[in-house]
Amino acid sequence: MKNILSLLTLSLLLTLWSCGPAQPAEEATTEETTTEEAAQETAAVMSGENYAITIVKDSIASPRKEMKGTVGGAAVTVNYGSPSVKGRTIWGDLVQFNDVWRTGANETTTIEFAADVMVEGQELAAGKYGLYTYPTAESVIVIFSKKTEGWGTGDYSEADDALRVTVTPNAVETNAETLDFVVEGDAVVLQWANWKIPFGVSAK
Q: Please report, for the chain, the start and end positions of each structural domain, with discontinuous segments joined by +.
A: 2-32, 45-203
Taking the alpha carbons of 62, 63, 64, 67 in that order, is the dihedral positive or negative?
negative
Q: Do residues 81 and 190 lie in contact, with contact meaning Cβ atoms separated by under 8 Å?
A: no
Q: What are the Cα distances from residue 143, in Å, to 30, 146, 149, 156, 193? A: 48, 10, 15, 10, 21
Region 140-160: mean pLDDT is: 93
Positions of E strands within 10-126: 44-48, 51-57, 64-71, 74-81, 110-113, 117-119, 122-124
Tell me, what's the pLDDT at 45? 86
Contacts of residue 204, Cβ cutoff 8 Å, sequence gap at least 6: 115, 116, 117, 118, 123
pLDDT at 192 over 60: yes
Q: Which residue has the higher pLDDT, 31 or 164?
A: 164
pLDDT of residue 173 exceeding 70, the answer is yes
Beta bridge mates, 163: 144
User: Which of 200, 198, 197, 199 lies closest to 90 in space, CA to CA?
Assistant: 197
Work out the percent of the chain whose per-residue pLDDT is above 70: 79
- The pLDDT, as a whole number, for residue 5 is 42
Q: Residues near 46 by Cβ (< 8 Å), separated by ≥ 6?
A: 52, 53, 180, 182
Whether the per-residue pLDDT at 72 is higher than 50: the answer is yes
Is the pLDDT assigned to residue 99 strictly greater than 60? yes
0.75 cut: is pTM over it?
yes
128 pLDDT band (50/70/90 cuts)? very high
For position 147, what pLDDT does the model report? Answer: 95
Cβ neighbours of residue 84 under 8 Å, at least 6 residues apart?
62, 177, 178, 179
Give me the phi and psi of 34, to 5 degrees please.
-60, -45
What is the distance between the alpha carbons of residues 172 and 1, in angstroms, rounded to a whole number?
Answer: 95
pLDDT of the residue at 33: 39
The three-class DSSP label of residue 13 is helix
pLDDT in tens, 9-44: 445 444 444 444 444 443 333 344 344 444 444 467
pLDDT bucket at 7, cuts 50 / 70 / 90: very low
- Say yes or no to pLDDT of 190 above 70: yes
